[in-house]
Chains A and B, each alone.
Chain A
Amino acid sequence: MSAINESVAIIAPQVVRRGPSRKRKLARIARQQPLGVFGLVIIVLLIVAATFAPLIAPYDPTSIEFSSFQSPGGSHLFGTDDKGRDVLSRVIYGSRTSLQVGIIATLIGAVGGAVVGLVSGYFGGLVDILVQRLMDALLAFPFLILALIMVAIFGNSIPKLMALLGTAIIPSIGRVMRGVVLAEKEKLYVEAARSIGVSVPRIMFRHILPNVAAAIIIVATSLLGTAILVEASLSFLGFGTPPPTPSWGADLSGNARVFFVHAPWMAIFPGIALSLVVLGFNLFGDALRDVLDPRLRNR
């Protein structure tokens, strides 16, 4: 080993040691989880498409300047729809709607669920009982039906969808959090913190939260995929993203079904995009669970 390398290692041993080993660790994980990597690639593609939609999309997704029902190929790779809009541009912009609604809803659910789980698990007693009944009320219904009932009450617009889907996610994360917190709060470091007089909120958010973050990340990743799917389902049923905003669920419903025999590409391309994204989140979520929480492997 050369002298320079040695001196670097002495000055900054952590930097030198950590850099390559973390990279190697990631590479090993990637080799063990090829499907997870594939899922991650799909998710990255989704994020790229959503972020750079105006640069990637050939046309304005709401522009109706083209002739209707052009089959795929030529200047319209995915064809045009009944109103003369470019399907490829709508699919690309649709990724924006999906990702925006999915991410914001999941963030609301993760933050709400973390708070609910921490409070319920840490305090226990009456607070726990009351909070859990509230969560039971939300968990009484499958996700889609809960979302439908909420939309029936509050109506639908994109911000409302984010808030409603986020609320619907809270109990799923809250329940996992509560279980983890129950186990965590008995550990020595919490007792140590308590004995030197650390305040309760600080124990919850600075001591316990970082230790249970893995659980939140695992659940949130799979719920992000679910949120995207439920947004699409609601839009498919006509209770989701209002037109003319491009949304995969809405685009493959309505007139796409009426004219399916005539112009199947209207329904097929948004459907493929949606299936790929759900597949990506499923594969990545599975891999993440294997890596972060080996106890759950093969379940």
Chain B
Amino acid sequence: MESHYFQENLHVRTYAIRRLLLMVPVIILVTIAVSSLMRIVPGDPATLALGQEATEADRERFREEYHLNDPLPVQYIRWWGDVFRGDLGKSVVQRTSVSDELKQRLPNTLELLVLSVFFTALIGIPFGVISAIKQNTFLDYFLRSFSIAGLSIPNFWLGTLLLMLPAIWWDYFPPISNVSFWDDPLANLEKYYLPSLTLAIGSSATVMRLMRSSVLEIMREDYVRTARSKGIAERVVIVRHVLKNALIPVVTIIGLQVAALVGGSVIIEQIFNVPGIGLFLLNSIFARDYPSIQGLVLFLAVIFMLINLLVDLSYGFLDPRIRYS
């Protein structure tokens, strides 16, 4: 028994290591594509960054500063050298370090994500359970319609409505400035609850759907019938026997939703003016700030691939029947 467990653990570790190794060529591919394509498209980066009025001398100094006169492969390898020293490059617009900017903005996006996951679970799990227990009643249909609607409303439209309708009806505007949670928790949460809720509606609909079918499936199991036949109260059966098992796939889906939430956060940060990673990406694209874009692409690629790996690993952790090969 113990040796089997050890072997299984070893499998997971080999699998994880192989997946991590597979990330390397992908990351090289992504960064080469971005760095070369960004430079092939028309437009001199120096002119783009400095504007039309800059003199040729200014532009030349700029090219020197950013090593733009070197051949592309040299620039690319130099960039990796910097990356390994923890330097993701320097913005050509803000003239600030991309790594510092990321470090400063990361907590804001993380808070948005944590709150979104919280709302996702808070809405999705109970609604899914209720919908399953009251299967084919009016309440079930109502909750399922809510879920379909939640999946279909584009998050940017929902966000616009959640921001604007209270402004029309009650003259209510969420705070514009960004206050740290540690300085003023209430003001901070007042800024973050609406964007998080907006992000959570779509993913909670997915979670609700899965929770419902998961509960329905488990309620048909023999051990649930046994528990009922022993005369255990229905509430106890649901909580102790059904929910505990029904939650397993749902936890994984919530993990999968994190990647989707990060994707959605770009647009939500723009609507609610949250100074996070997504807004940084948008501003960089808008200004054609290629060192920032390149740094951000690397950062995001690593993050998303790690999330996907963690989700895949959690399948096996939650369901021991799954074997990694």
Interface residues of A (CB under 8 A from B): 35, 133-134, 136-137, 140-145, 148-149, 151-155, 229, 232-233, 236-239, 249, 252-253, 257, 260-261, 264, 267, 271, 274-276, 278-279, 282-283, 298-299
Nearest Cβ distance between residue B29 and chain A, in whole angstroms?
Answer: 4
Contact of A232 among B25, B26, B154, B285 (CB under 8 A): B154
Q: Is the CB of A261 within 8 A of B168?
A: yes
Instruction: Give the docked Cα–Cα distance between A239 and B259 (Å).
Output: 22
The stretch of B184-192, B236-244, B300-308, B316-324 in contact with A is B300-308
Q: Is the CB of A278 within 8 A of B26?
A: no
Q: Is the CB of A261 within 8 A of B167?
A: yes
Q: Is the CB of B267 within 8 A of A233?
A: yes
Instruction: Give the docked Cα–Cα distance between A210 and B262 (Å).
Output: 37
List B contacts of A253 (CB < 8 A): 156, 160
Q: Is the CB of A144 within 8 A of B154?
A: no
List A contacts of B301 (CB < 8 A): 140-141
For the complex, is B47 an interface residue (Cβ under 8 Å from A)? no
For the complex, is B248 an interface residue (Cβ under 8 Å from A)? no
Segment 134-161 of B: residues with Cβ below 8 Å from A: 148-149, 151-154, 156-157, 160-161
Nearest Cβ distance between residue B12 and chain A, in whole angstroms?
Answer: 21
Instruction: Give the docked Cα–Cα distance between A152 and B290 (Å).
Output: 9
Q: Is the CB of A257 within 8 A of B266?
A: no
- Pick the 7 closest A-B CB pairs, nearest first: A142-B263, A279-B152, A271-B157, A152-B285, A260-B164, A137-B29, A278-B152
List A contacts of B267 (CB < 8 A): 144, 233, 236-237
List B contacts of A134 (CB < 8 A): 29
Instruction: Give the docked Cα–Cα distance between A259 and B211 (Å).
Output: 40
List A contacts of B304 (CB < 8 A): 140-142
List A contacts of B22 (CB < 8 A): 133, 136
List A contacts of B263 (CB < 8 A): 141-145
Name the CB-closest residue of A to B261: A142
Contact of A298 among B25, B29, B213 (CB under 8 A): B213
Segment 176-217 of B: residues with Cβ below 8 Å from A: 213, 217
Q: Is the CB of B164 within 8 A of A152?
A: no
For the complex, is B5 an interface residue (Cβ under 8 Å from A)? no
Instruction: Give the docked Cα–Cα distance between A88 and B33 (Å).
Output: 42
Nearest Cβ distance between residue A274 and chain B, in whole angstroms?
Answer: 6
A137/B149 contact (C-beta < 8 A), A260-B164, A264-B164, A275-B157 known? no
Contact of B270 among A137, A229, A237, A252 (CB under 8 A): A237
The stretch of B34-42, B55-63, B74-82, B91-99 in contact with A is B34-42
Q: Is the CB of B260 within 8 A of A149?
A: no
